[in-house]
Amino acid sequence: MRNVVKEPMPVDAVQLRKVLEPYVARYQRMLESIAGLINVCARYIPPRRSRKLHIGLFGYSRNQGGIVLPRAITFVAALYSMGLPPEVFGISASRKWAMVMWIS
């Protein structure tokens, strides 16, 4: 069987933004409320390897709304260690969005 490359489907950016905004807002609020706990837990996640320190555009920490967070793998490991998979952070917004779409 041959692999066929298909053109990507067109996306309505306005509609996509309407769908994503509630999730993004909820995710950011939840992240801000537990950022301190994430950073404390992240200290106990063993590093995979030593990293060179960089200053400037290619720094290694994550910054969300003025909150400094660990790098991706450590960030996710800390969340899972606390029993909080990051996939469910914005899920509470889905019920509200579904209601809006049902009514309109």
SS3 90: coil
Q: Are 91 and 29 in contact (CB under 8 A)?
A: no
Residue found under tokens 């769908």: 19
Q: For 48-67, how does the pLDDT look when each residue is reduced to its tens digit (9 = 90+)?
A: 766 565 555 444 556 766 78
Greater confidence (40 vs 22) lies with 40
Run of H or E residues at 64 = strand 62-64
Q: How far apart are CA 84 and CA 16, in angstroms?
A: 26
pLDDT 10s digits, 28-46:
888 888 999 999 999 999 8
Task: Band the pLDDT of 98: cuts 50, 70, 90.
Answer: low
Percent residues over pLDDT 90 in the chain: 25
- pTM summary value: 0.66
Q: What are the backbone angles phi and psi of residue 95, rounded to the nearest 5°? A: -65, -45
Percent of the chain scoring above 70 in pLDDT: 70
DSSP H stretches of helix in the chain: 13-42, 72-81, 92-103
Q: How far apart are CA 73 and CA 79, in angstroms?
A: 10
Q: What is the mean pLDDT of the chain?
A: 79
Token pair of 73 as six digits = 């793998």
pLDDT higher than 70, residue 7:
yes
